[in-house]
């Protein structure tokens, strides 16, 4: 299955995406080279589409014009990659020195290809004999083209991997993806040589040709993605970060709801509507920050209302359930917090227990991680309270098989 239409659409989309960036920095050589690479890639896949391919040959009356146009676009694309990498990773003087040799080599190859093309089509539209006589020249032209393309793509892959080691996060990823694509597109070279030999020897097409073309198209898509990844990758990262913050915001809701019910004054902007709780992505960072602060304020307000014996029983049952470390600490604090919130709501007072406060935290991220963990445990924690101060109050921790739940957030 050919991916040419998908590759053409992706290349044109990437081209127009980068052209918009180029309009803001027209003097940046590497950016101009990238636009050239994407434009040449888009043209090459557009020419490869069956409708364009046949129409180009029919309109010109030259049977080999479409292949020559394709090869010209691909050679331009390959050379543009060299320019892009050179100016991306080296100072202008070093880039110009490196590219001078490449331009000479590619120019010689281009002249040779054009000469062989002319020899292959001279008189071919007039007689079958002339068309047959040009067959060896078409083979030679294809061999030169594929050899040059293979050399350029191998060098592109090597340079991408070399520069990736010294690049920052998203540029490094883009270079690795582009290098992978360059290796995969070498299948174009293999199938191109095979097709030229098949035509020259009048053989049947190879049965796995479509698979090889698909692999090459996949490599081309990888290169399009890799060259543009440094720009749109961080945007994906920001979206991913926002979604992660949203998940944390939602995870804090059970604990926040219980705290807000007992101590409603902690909320800066209370919004209990379903729409208000779900559609928060545009300000999720601020709302997440506020939710953590409000939970902490609520905990501070009720920390002296813990019923006696809750911590000891939660600790014993947590150890019996196999909890340890921060898991055990979170279970004990969750049991204490549930007791304190219920006592605060009913006007009772703690009689001796002091609420623990989890492990030391030195940053907001550490505080957020702990509060999320505490909320998850609190949501699972089953706490049964009799009258505050009654020594029969039992704090049930996760994993003990409790079946009854009474919490301030679930009444």
- Mean pLDDT per 10-residue section of the chain, whose length is 411 residues: 82 90 82 89 87 74 71 82 82 79 78 77 53 69 84 89 84 92 89 75 69 87 91 81 86 89 79 57 80 90 83 83 85 88 74 73 88 88 39 38 34 32
pLDDT recorded at residue 12: 93
pLDDT recorded at residue 389: 39
The whole-angstrom separation of Cα 145 and Cα 106 is: 10
Following DSSP, what letter does each residue of 87-144 receive, concatenated? HHHS-HHHHHHHHHHHHHHHHHHHHHHHHHHHHHHTTTTT-HHHHHHTHHHHHHHHHH
Please, what are the domains in the chain?
Answer: 4-234 (1.20.1070), 252-395 (no CATH)
Based on its alpha-carbon atoms, the radius of gyration of the chain, rounded to whole angstroms, reads: 34
Residues 306/353, Cβ–Cβ less than 8 Å? yes
The whole-angstrom separation of Cα 308 and Cα 352 is: 6
3-state secondary structure of 383: strand
The whole-angstrom separation of Cα 193 and Cα 139 is: 8
Residue 166, classified by CB atoms within 10 Å of its CB into exposed (0-12), middle (13-18) or buried (19+), is exposed
191: CB partners within 8 A, 6+ apart: 206, 209, 212, 213, 216
Q: Which of 340, 316, 319 is closest to 388 using CA atoms?
A: 340
pLDDT recorded at residue 124: 53
Angle between helices 50-60 and 29-48 (to 10 degrees): 80
The whole-angstrom separation of Cα 208 and Cα 196 is: 15
pLDDT recorded at residue 225: 93
pLDDT recorded at residue 270: 61
The end-to-end CA distance of the chain, in Å, is 59
3-state secondary structure of 331: helix
pLDDT recorded at residue 372: 92
70 to each of 13, 42, 47, how far by Cα in Å?
20, 11, 6
């Amino acid at each position: 299955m050919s991916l040419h239409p998908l590759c053409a659409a992706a290349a044109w989309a990437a081209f127009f995406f980068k052209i918009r960036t180029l309009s803001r920095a027209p003097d940046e050589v590497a950016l101009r080279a990238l636009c050239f690479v994407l434009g040449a890639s888009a043209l090459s896949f557009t020419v490869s589409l069956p409708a364009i391919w046949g129409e180009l040959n029919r309109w010109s009356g030259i049977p080999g014009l479409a292949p020559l146009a394709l090869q010209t676009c691909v050679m331009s694309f390959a050379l543009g990659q060299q320019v892009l990498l050179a100016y991306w990773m080296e100072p202008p003087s070093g880039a110009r020195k490196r590219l001078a040799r490449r331009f000479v080599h590619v120019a010689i190859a281009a002249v040779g290809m054009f000469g062989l093309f002319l020899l292959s089509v001279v008189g071919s539209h007039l007689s079958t004999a002339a068309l047959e006589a040009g067959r060896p020249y078409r083979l030679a032209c294809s061999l030169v083209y594929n050899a040059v393309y293979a050399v350029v793509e191998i060098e592109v892959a090597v340079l991408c991997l070399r520069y990736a080691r010294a690049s920052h996060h998203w540029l490094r990823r883009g270079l690795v993806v582009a290098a992978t694509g360059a290796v995969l597109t070498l299948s174009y070279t293999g199938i191109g040589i095979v097709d030229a030999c098949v035509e020259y020897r009048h053989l049947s097409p190879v049965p796995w040709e479509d698979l090889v073309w698909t692999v090459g198209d996949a490599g081309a898509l990888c290169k399009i993605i890799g060259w543009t990844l440094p720009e749109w990758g961080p945007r994906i990262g920001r979206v991913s970060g926002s979604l992660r913050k949203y998940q944390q915001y939602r995870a804090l809701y059970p604990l926040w709801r219980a705290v807000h019910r007992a101590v409603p004054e902690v909320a800066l902007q209370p919004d209990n509507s379903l729409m208000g709780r779900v559609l928060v992505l545009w300000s999720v960072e601020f709302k997440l920050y506020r939710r953590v602060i409000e939970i902490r304020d609520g905990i501070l307000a009720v920390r002296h209302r813990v019923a006696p014996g809750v911590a000891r029983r939660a600790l014993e049952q947590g150890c019996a359930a196999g909890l340890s470390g921060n898991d055990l600490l979170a279970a004990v604090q969750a049991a204490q917090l549930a007791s304190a919130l219920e006592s605060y709501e009913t006007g009772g007072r703690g009689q001796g227990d002091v609420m623990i406060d989890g492990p030391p935290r030195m940053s907001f991220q550490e505080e957020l991680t702990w509060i999320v963990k505490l909320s998850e445990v609190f949501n699972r924690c089953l706490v049964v309270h009799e009258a505050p101060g009654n020594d029969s109050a039992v704090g049930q921790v996760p994993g003990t098989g409790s079946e009854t739940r009474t919490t301030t957030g679930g009444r």
